[in-house]
Structure 1
């Protein structure tokens, strides 16, 4: 007779499944990261090449005797220095963007306790939503959606667990893409796929709204969305852990709230409130 499965065994199995789900998310993100990192790398390469050309031009000017330098030469030198300075700023900006993407990937891979740090929340929302979208696009090149942002600059830096909050955004955008893709398959006339993300500061809280115009969610299912292992997706398309972990992160880790409203056939909106 086989030994009975205890509550401890179940807890261990659930933790293993959660860990596997997290690793699967990291794998799914990889394609999006490759796409998102391609643009800043191209910027760095192009501006570096252009800057080398400017330096060659400056060498020619510097090589002239001072007595032969005209006013035009001096003006050209100033213009070259100004352009070179702007190029270096662009290289620095895109280098930092690459660094943020890599740090985000490393934060996703870490499994230790959440570490809170001051983070540009608007920037994080934009970067992780694009990563999630490009990950979906990597699996289905015919899938397209418009990402609309209305991000309040007053939100500024917020103390969050960056990697964990990034996973929240990835989960929500993945679900939004799935809902939109299902509606696309219905060949609805005039359908224009859109995911809208907005932020605003409300007293001592930050409000984040993420809305899609996909297939929506029936009312009887909305109440079950955050339950562990509950999923509306077909077998093999979802573990039922994404929204459960999202709820845990927002409510337990970040001491906030998350709610969802939906109109079947029209839209679904997630509303997150976290302390500012």
Structure 2
């Protein structure tokens, strides 16, 4: 061996070859040949010992005799290939058998090649060199594959995170734009309505005083003028003065109640769409719920072939909560509007299944508020058709909706979840099962 070849062997890690053969002569020859070629050589004389050696000290390649006592080469190969930690080590059979069926059997068990006895040293070294190179290439390919999979996974994770951030940004923009647009709309409507309502309300006060004075005067006239003449009596009878005397004060009171109701509605709209600004405010949660119910009142009333939706309130005494009231009102609106949608869908389905008479006669929404040591809790529940577990798992995802196309954006609940969890540090849960209704549980720290 020349000095340059010796230096090359010193500079590289020796590849290990395990020879399993029951012939001492073959082991000695192969040990000398492979050792001279620069390989580290391990030897075993039976299959069981060979398997134990492979599991304890995995070689780079195995030379395996076929004909051995107890466990032959085929069984040894089968066991090594069945073990995930050893199946990737290339196995070359050494055999005196020349039948094609035996070779096919060995290759089918996982061997990579055959060397026929008596063997030529050059052939042995050439085949070993070839399969070690192939093993190196396969190992390098596996390594590159793993690195590529890691890079793909990392890139996929980055893209997924970017997509989620984009969705959250879209939600925030939609939410901000929605509240801003509503606030502008309500401010404009309130300005247009408040002036005439204020004018009417103020004048109703004076009109009521004038009417009371006139009625007093009429009563005095009737008392002190016993014979007003036939023309006056005919007019009194035609206009039914007694009825007017009783009904006109009631009419004025009703008009006053109407203007007060309009003022209340406008105040509810302003409360609902109030601008939050950058800082949280101390507010009464119940005011926001009531403002939302006022706005949705028209959807709760009875319609032909559809009963009214009953709202049951179970309010506890709550402290004022530090929050963004406009955002919380948006959550109440989303949850209550969804509950109404579900109840309407349930009633339509029941009417379809029971064409003569709907069995769904008591649609109900229950709103309960309570408090624990650290949180204000709001529960909004309906007795609609409920949801499956698979739907519940997706309900807060952006753009997920169970409504028909064109009737829902899939943003309401995802925006609500973001408002409660991220903006208020609280929790929003959905509890439901098919046929048992749905309850949304809001928890907000105070």
Where on the TM-score scale, by shorter chain, does this alignment land: which range? Answer: 0.5 to 0.7
Question: Residue in 2 aligned with 1:103?
Answer: 270
> Aligned with 2:401: secondary structure?
coil
Question: Residue in 2 aligned with 1:225?
Answer: 395
Question: Residue in 1 aligned with 2:418?
Answer: 248
Q: 1:190–1:178: structure 2 CA closer, same or farther, 3 Å change rule?
A: closer
Write the distance in 1 (CA, Å) between the matches of 2:266 and 2:361: 37
Question: Residue in 2 aligned with 1:14?
Answer: 170
Counterpart check, 1:130 vs 2:294: yes
Backbone CA RMSD of aligned residues:
4.4
Write the distance in 2 (CA, Å) between the matches of 1:226 and 1:180: 20
Write the distance in 2 (CA, Å) between the matches of 1:168 and 1:130: 15
Question: Residue in 1 aligned with 2:375?
Answer: 205
> Aligned with 1:164: secondary structure?
helix
Contact residue 200 and residue 206 of structure 1 kept, 8 A = yes
Write the distance in 1 (CA, Å) between the matches of 2:314 and 2:346: 24
Q: How does 1:1-276 map to 2 (within 5 A)?
A: 7=162, 14=170, 18=174, 22=178, 26=182, 49=204, 52-54=207-209, 97-98=264-265, 100-104=267-271, 106-107=273-274, 115-134=279-298, 144-152=308-316, 154-187=317-350, 188-276=358-446
Write the distance in 1 (CA, Å) between the matches of 2:284 and 2:362: 30
Write the distance in 2 (CA, Å) between the matches of 1:210 and 1:17: 26
List alignment gaps of at least 5 residues for structure 1.
1-6, 62-89
Higher gyration radius (CA): 2
More contact order relative to length (CA 8 Å, sep ≥ 6): 1
Q: 1:15–1:91: structure 2 CA closer, same or farther, 3 Å change rule?
A: closer
Q: 1:20–1:116: structure 2 CA closer, same or farther, 3 Å change rule?
A: closer
> Aligned with 2:296: secondary structure?
helix
Contact residue 229 and residue 241 of structure 1 kept, 8 A = yes
Between the two proteins, the alignment pairs up a number of residues equal to: 233
Contact residue 214 and residue 268 of structure 1 kept, 8 A = yes
Write the distance in 1 (CA, Å) between the matches of 2:301 and 2:382: 16
Q: CA deviation at 1:57?
A: 5.6
Contact residue 171 and residue 411 of structure 2 kept, 8 A = no
